[in-house]
A and B are shown apart, each in its own frame.
Chain A
Amino acid sequence: MAPIVEVSNLTKTYKGGFQALGGVNLEIEEGEILALLGPNGAGKTTLISTICGIVTPTAGSVRVGGHDTITDYRAARSLIGLVPQELTLEPFETVMNTVRLSRGLFGKPKDDAHIEKVLRQLSLWDKKDNKIMMLSGGMKRRVLIAKALSHEPRVLFLDEPTAGVDVELRRDMWDVVEELRKTGVTIILTTHYIEEAEAIADRVGVIAKGEILLVQDKAELMAQMGQKQLQIDIATPVSTLPVSLVDRGLTVEESGTRLIYTYDTRAERTGITALLNDLQAENIQMTDLSTTQSSLEEIFVGLVKESA
């Protein structure tokens, strides 16, 4: 199946010469949740704004549902819902009016039944006649999501949906995203919280300095991340492992005084106890034990540093 969003060689250089995007290529599959992870100023918002038509690209192209976002912008944009990072809403308007406006802007006929469904889904129905300035920050964020969903998009962009939001609200937002996914909407969200990407995404893309450094299945990334290494320093150097330890997956460092054991922290049995017992049985004297872990954070920081 063709990807729902295809970004090809997308470049944006702002007036004054600042290059926010440097040839981004990205394919997003229908129905997935993709988290774009990157530090502040990495180009996350520019990428989203360019896909949605707010920023004109300097070079490259974007296709949404097979429609070019410049030459066939009406068809492309009708498929997209955008939830911006800032809580940009008219304070004196009611929730209902502003959501109705969004639906109309996207060329959809009036359908209050659909709007009711969206507002109920986001627990906003009892606030529908409230003025927006009466709502809390979390509720305003939900209004923005309701606006984006009012016109039944197939792709939803959430720009930092949980920036500056407390932990409880963040989990709340994750539940909302999970609910949306069940309806079949493709979701692209940007974040600089690694745990957020871990919690809700199917795939994770890392972006820094206007370039996509990596896009990977979260499970694969987690598999890399879930691996831990146990370093065992031993008193007497060994050149080869005793027979009983050969099948344990141990490696010997060149000096012969350090054994390295790689294990999966999420596995039911890590095999550490058995390994230590075997070492004792072989009369290998241990002088020190330490563990190291490659986290998504480490991978992320490493990637971002490399590109710097």
Chain B
Amino acid sequence: MNFAAVKAIYLYEMARFWRTLLQSFVSPVISTSLYFVVFGAAIGSRIDQVEGVSYGAFIVPGLIMLSVMTQATSNASFGIYFPKFIGTIYELLSAPVNFLEIVVGYVGAAATKSLFIGVVILATAALFVDLEIQHPFAMLAFLVLTCISFSLLGFIIGIWAGNFEQLQLIPLLIITPLVFLGGSFYSVSMLPPVWQTITHFNPVLYLISGFRWAFFGQADVPIGLSLLAIALFTGLCLAAIAWIFRTGWRIRQ
């Protein structure tokens, strides 16, 4: 294992994050505040409570998940797509590193960034509403696993993408809708029965539900299913990356 290379990639990627610290932190803080104003204050005042939790607090896990998933995906996909786009990937390909080391470096950095953003949103949310976290370790584990798995997904997208449009395509067309429809801002039990059934096919539902359980001890689906879902998703991403590694798909001629 070339640890020096993993460290070099990780620090280089993190350096970009620190350089744009202001936008990295300020934009999630502002968008979270906006969600609180719109959903919490305007709509929340009419909803009152969901499953015994104030609506303002209820949407916090969903909000964190929304940002973490999109940030992890876009960070990781951009991180590996950019060298491909400007050609600096030649250096990765000619260096004495294997694909695993490249993945750990890039995905590690993207996961760290999204974790930071998740924590910032949590802190911002704490300013607006009273939050209690019933299972802090489970909460942290869910958060970290989501950061890692969606960074893995982003990495795959970055390898796959042939242009900037494709880079945006999956986050925009798939991830955002799935997160919105996965119970970020409502409980599935509030939906008509047909939609409840359909929603259960949305994989993101299981992640948000598990995360919410860690906060409030309540969930749309059993916590075991949520754990299974995130393990399955991470496993799928890892398998795809292992395949890319073996075949050199889209990177090595």
A-side residues, CB < 8 A to B, are 14-15, 52-56, 73-78, 80, 82, 84, 86, 88-92, 97, 100-109, 147
Please report whether the interface of chain B is mostly helix, strand, loop or mixed according to DSSP: helix
Q: How far is the CB of B156 from chain A (nearest CB, A)?
A: 21
Considering only residues 188-216 of chain B, those with a C-beta below 8 Å from chain A are none
Given contacts A103-B8, A107-B2, A109-B4, contact A77 B95 (CB under 8 A): yes
Question: Do the beta carbons of B4 and A108 come within 8 Å of each other?
Answer: yes
A15 cross-chain contacts in B, Cβ below 8 A: 253
Question: Do the beta carbons of A106 and B5 come within 8 Å of each other?
Answer: yes
Q: How far is the CB of A89 from chain B (nearest CB, A)?
A: 7
Question: Do the beta carbons of A105 and B88 come within 8 Å of each other?
Answer: no
B93 sits at the interface (CB 8 A): yes
| A80 and B82 alpha carbons, distance in the complex (Å) | 24
Contact flags (1/0) for B13-33 with A, using CB distance below 8 Å? Answer: 001100100000000000000
Interface pairs (6), CB distance under 8 Å: A15-B253, A84-B90, A88-B88, A90-B83, A102-B91, A107-B2
Question: Do the beta carbons of A106 and B86 come within 8 Å of each other?
Answer: no
B96 sits at the interface (CB 8 A): yes
| A92 and B93 alpha carbons, distance in the complex (Å) | 21
Among A56, A80, A90, A105, the one with the most B-chain Cβ atoms within 10 Å of its Cβ is: A105
Given contacts A52-B94, A54-B252, A74-B96, contact A88 B87 (CB under 8 A): yes
Q: Which of the residues A74, A78, A88 comes within 8 Å of B86, measured between beta carbons?
A: A88
B2 cross-chain contacts in A, Cβ below 8 A: 74, 107
Q: How far is the CB of B99 from chain A (nearest CB, A)?
A: 12
Given contacts A100-B8, A105-B5, contact A14 B90 (CB under 8 A): no
A147 cross-chain contacts in B, Cβ below 8 A: 91
Q: Which of the residues B16, B90, B95 comes within 8 Å of A106, measured between beta carbons?
A: B95
B-side residues, CB < 8 A to A, are 2, 4-5, 7-9, 11-12, 15-16, 19, 82-83, 86-88, 90-97, 248, 252-253
Q: How far is the CB of B185 from chain A (nearest CB, A)?
A: 36
Q: Which of the residues B16, B19, B95 comes within 8 Å of A105, measured between beta carbons?
A: B95
| A109 and B15 alpha carbons, distance in the complex (Å) | 18
| A187 and B50 alpha carbons, distance in the complex (Å) | 71
B93 cross-chain contacts in A, Cβ below 8 A: 52-54
Question: Do the beta carbons of B88 and A104 come within 8 Å of each other?
Answer: no
A/B pair count, beta carbons within 8 Å? 83
Chain A residue at minimal CB-CB distance from B86: A88
| A108 and B248 alpha carbons, distance in the complex (Å) | 25
Question: Do the beta carbons of A105 and B97 come within 8 Å of each other?
Answer: yes
Question: Do the beta carbons of B12 and A97 come within 8 Å of each other?
Answer: yes
Question: Do the beta carbons of B87 and A86 come within 8 Å of each other?
Answer: yes
Question: Do the beta carbons of B252 and A55 come within 8 Å of each other?
Answer: yes
Q: Which of the residues A55, A90, A106, A109 comes within 8 Å of B96, measured between beta carbons?
A: A106
Given contacts A104-B5, A106-B96, contact A14 B87 (CB under 8 A): no
Question: Do the beta carbons of B91 and A56 come within 8 Å of each other?
Answer: no
Q: How far is the CB of A102 from chain B (nearest CB, A)?
A: 6
Q: Which of the residues A56, A97, A103, A107 comes within 8 Å of B248, measured between beta carbons?
A: A56
Question: Do the beta carbons of A105 and B9 come within 8 Å of each other?
Answer: yes
Chain A residue at minimal CB-CB distance from B82: A90
| A78 and B96 alpha carbons, distance in the complex (Å) | 6
B7 cross-chain contacts in A, Cβ below 8 A: 104
Among B4, B5, B96, B97, the one with the most A-chain Cβ atoms within 10 Å of its Cβ is: B96
A82 cross-chain contacts in B, Cβ below 8 A: 90-91, 94
| A107 and B5 alpha carbons, distance in the complex (Å) | 5
| A77 and B252 alpha carbons, distance in the complex (Å) | 16
Q: How far is the CB of A223 from chain B (nearest CB, A)?
A: 37
Chain A residue at minimal CB-CB distance from B251: A54
Q: Which of the residues B4, B82, B252 comes within 8 Å of A104, measured between beta carbons?
A: B4
Question: Do the beta carbons of A56 and B252 come within 8 Å of each other?
Answer: yes
B12 cross-chain contacts in A, Cβ below 8 A: 97, 100-101, 104
